[in-house]
């Protein structure tokens, strides 16, 4: 009988009960503190997906327009103006992609700061 009771006694049992009580009382508070950060992160990801989808559709449309222009030109080689136009489009898309990456970095940095602030006992951020 002592072998059955022994695992329930001692400091480990009290520690477990203390942790369970702390989780019970602090869980809802932590959940409410983390909710705004999770919502912002989700909104940011959704906005990024929408911008990416929009950028891809614009690129497809531009390529279709360029190919339509090319079909009127002599077949077999790309004309100089079409080449320059395509090169310019690629540069613009690269710049736009770089801006989007920087925006993502900024958003992730602010989310990281908010989470660190919450971990350090800071006030809950307002939406």
Composition of the chain by helix, strand, coil, percent to 5: 85, 0, 15
b (16+ CB within 10 A) / e for 9-23? eeeeeeeeeeeeeee
Does residue 98 belong to any structural domain of this protein? yes
Place of tokens 């520690």: 15
pLDDT band at 40 (very low <50, low <70, confident <90, very high): confident
- Of the candidates 89, 95, 101, 88, the residue with the CA atom closest to the CA atom of residue 58: 89
pLDDT of 75 higher than 50: no
Q: How far is CA 85 from the centre of its chain?
A: 33
pLDDT of 46 higher than 80: yes
pLDDT band at 1 (very low <50, low <70, confident <90, very high): very low
Does residue 5 belong to any structural domain of this protein? no
Query: In which domain, by residue range, is 97 found?
Result: 32-119
pTM of the model: 0.39
Does residue 12 belong to any structural domain of this protein? no
Does residue 39 belong to any structural domain of this protein? yes
pLDDT of 25 higher than 60: yes
Does residue 125 belong to any structural domain of this protein? no
Does residue 9 belong to any structural domain of this protein? no
- For the chain, how many structural domains are there in total? 1
Structure tokens at 101: 């990456």
pLDDT band at 30 (very low <50, low <70, confident <90, very high): confident
């Amino acid at each position: 009988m002592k072998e059955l009771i022994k695992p329930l006694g001692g400091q480990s049992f009290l520690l477990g009960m203390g942790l369970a009580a702390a989780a019970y009382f602090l869980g809802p508070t932590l959940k409410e503190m983390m909710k705004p950060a999770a919502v912002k992160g989700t909104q940011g990801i959704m906005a990024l997906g929408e911008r990416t989808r929009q950028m891809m559709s614009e690129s497809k449309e531009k390529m279709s327009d360029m190919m339509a222009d090319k079909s009127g030109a002599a077949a077999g080689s790309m004309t100089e103006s079409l080449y320059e136009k395509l090169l310019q489009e690629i540069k613009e898309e690269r710049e736009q992609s770089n801006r989007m990456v920087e925006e993502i970095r900024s958003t992730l940095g602010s989310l990281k700061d908010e989470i660190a602030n919450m971990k350090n006992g800071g006030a809950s951020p307002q939406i």
